[in-house]
Amino acid sequence: MELEELLKKFKEYSAQDTTVLEYAWSYSSEAHNEQHRASGEMYFVHCAAVAEILVDYKMDQETVAAGLLHDVLEDTKISPETFGKEFGSEILNLVTGVTKIETLRFSSRDEAQAENWRKMILATAKDIRVIVIKLADRLHNMRTLNFLPREKQLEISHETISLYAPLAQRLGIFQLKSELEDLSFKYLFPDEYQSLLTKVQLRYAMREKLLQDFKLAVETHLGGTQIPHRVLSRAKNLYSIYRKMLRQEKPFEEIQDALGVRIITDSIVNCYALLGTVHSVFKPVAGSFTDYIAVPKMNLYQSLHTSVMAASGEIIEIQIRTEDMHRTSEYGIAAHWRYKMGDKGADRHLDEKLNWLRQWMEWLQDLSSPREFIESFKTDLELDQIFIFTPKGEVKPLPEGATPLDFAYMIHTDIGNTCIGAKVNNKMSRLDHPLKSGDLCEIITRRSSAPKKDWLGIVKTAGARSHIRKYLREHGQLQD
């Protein structure tokens, strides 16, 4: 990519003056002038590629500049003081944050790896853009992994699929998450990857007409509604299909919803109107409807999900969302940084939207054991959510495997601390009972009751664990 092309793409979504970007390009190019990658190409090609990924995610100028410069402090003799004078504290802090991650080694799968991830999360908690730069850096490294020895490929791919891809998912950056997963899958299980790729390509060639017929039928019926919309076809990424095959213990041929469509419209009201139209034309699959608009996922994701039977008998998954929801589903957290540039009023609720992430970071910070930290980190990264009802009909999202005790702390710290039991669907239940989506959970409390040490082995969420540890520490029952 050339500078002119980068600037052109950046100016398509930003009115910021590009002087800093141009200077960052020439500065990084000069700093890495004599360095080469394993492929033999100039090292700066990698820096430019990272910047291009950040521009694709429509990040602000400071982030893109930091992407160009992300390896300068680590790989050259330029000091932080000199760098800071050239680019200011904001870009210096971003590059320093990425450099801190670079110096951590995650290759071993023991306490040291857990402690490194702990340091990374805490180092980047102040500015989420650091993680976005690191994800862009990792994506380009994965795209060029074929130049490294096999042992290194396996090490980097394992780290990517177990921690970087889930982190991208937690931030709602699904495009990036899917590519990281598929690239890791390609190196970790090359035979399975190639076999699945061949089958998927064959199936899509055969199902192309089915999809076109389905889209045409949708268009025909939606056309008369006067509701603005566009229909996009969507193929699931290979790794998610592979995981589904393992989970359901089925061959690829029996996996139903590897194909789907997205219907994008202009308002929430129209999302529900389109859902009604789709269900009146095609038979919905029982139990397949999920409303992520009324109850968004923790990473801001919103859509209506339903599966319907096509005329051919095939099941097709449909997602219905607004343009704004679609952008968030593609770019996640990254989509919201754009509003910080210029139009300050465009997303006044950005801080509220990012509150869950800051809260999560604080909870993780409270965990003293590296092993406990990494387990909690991975649990909370799992975005297979369940939805639990309170007796008043409110819905609370929790990670899969969460218990009534997690639910109690989700409602309020005091409810959790004084919990003595729970009723699930009007029947008494153990506190360690795994909840299922749709369960009605009522927490029973006693004012004189208090958290117990064995609760730490019952709860799944970082928030609940943090509150229990805090109470036990304050009452001298837990030594850090």
Indicate which residues carry an active-site annotation. 74-75
pLDDT tens sequence across 199-209? 988 877 777 77
pLDDT at position 108 is 47
Instruction: Tell which CATH classification among 3.30.465.10, 3.40.50.10800, 3.10.20.30, 1.10.620.20 matches the domain 384-474.
Output: 3.10.20.30
Q: Check if the beta carbon of residue 182 is closer than 8 Å to that of residue 237.
A: yes
pLDDT at position 346 is 42
CATH of domain 3-173: 1.10.3210.10
Closest CA to 461 of 319, 298, 258: 298
Q: Give the other-Cβ count within 10 Å of 84's Cβ.
A: 16
Residue 35: which residues within 8 A CB-CB, separation 6 or more?
42, 43, 44, 75
For 108, what's the count of Cα atoms within 13 Å in the CB-facing half-sphere? Answer: 8
For 226-254, give one letter per residue: b (16+ CB within 10 A) or e.
Answer: ebebebebeebbbbebbebbeeeeeeeee
Q: Check if the beta carbon of residue 159 is closer than 8 Å to that of residue 109.
A: no
For the domain made up of 190-331, the CATH class stated in words is alpha beta
For 431-448, give one letter per residue: b (16+ CB within 10 A) or e.
Answer: bebebeeebebbbebeee
pLDDT at position 233 is 77
pLDDT at position 237 is 86
pLDDT at position 409 is 94
Residue whose pair of structure tokens reads 């054991």 in the numeric block: 369
pLDDT tens sequence across 141-166? 999 999 999 999 998 998 888 778 87
- Distance (Å, whole) CA 348 – CA 329: 19
Is the pTM for the entire model greater than 0.85? no
Low-confidence ranges of the chain (pLDDT < 70): 101-126, 256-259, 333-384, 479-480
- Listed by start position, the domains of the chain span 3-173, 190-331, 384-474
- According to the 3-state scheme, what is the secondary structure of the chain? CCHHHHHHHHHCCCCCCCHHHHHHHHHHHHHCCCCECCCCCECHHHHHHHHHHHHHCCCCHHHHHHHHHCCHHHHCCCCHHHHHHHHHHHHHHHHHHHHHHHHCCCCCCCHHHHHHHHHHHHHHCCCCHHHHHHHHHHHHHHHCHHHCCHHHHHHHHHHHHHHHHHHHHHCCCHHHHHHHHHHHHHHHCHHHHHHHHHHHHHHHHHHHHHHHHHHHHHHHHHHCCCCCEEEEEEECCHHHHHHHHHHHCCCHHHCCCCEEEEEEECCHHHHHHHHHHHHHHCEECCCCCEECCCCCCCCCCCCEEEEEECCCCCEEEEEEEEHHHHHHHHHCHHHHHHHHCCCCCCCCCHHHHHHHHHHHHHHHHCCCCHHHHHHHHHHHHCCCEEEEECCCCCEEEEECCCCHHHHHHHHCHHHHHCEEEEEECCEEECCCCCCCCCCEEEEEECCCCCCCHHHHHCCCCHHHHHHHHHHHHHCCCCCC
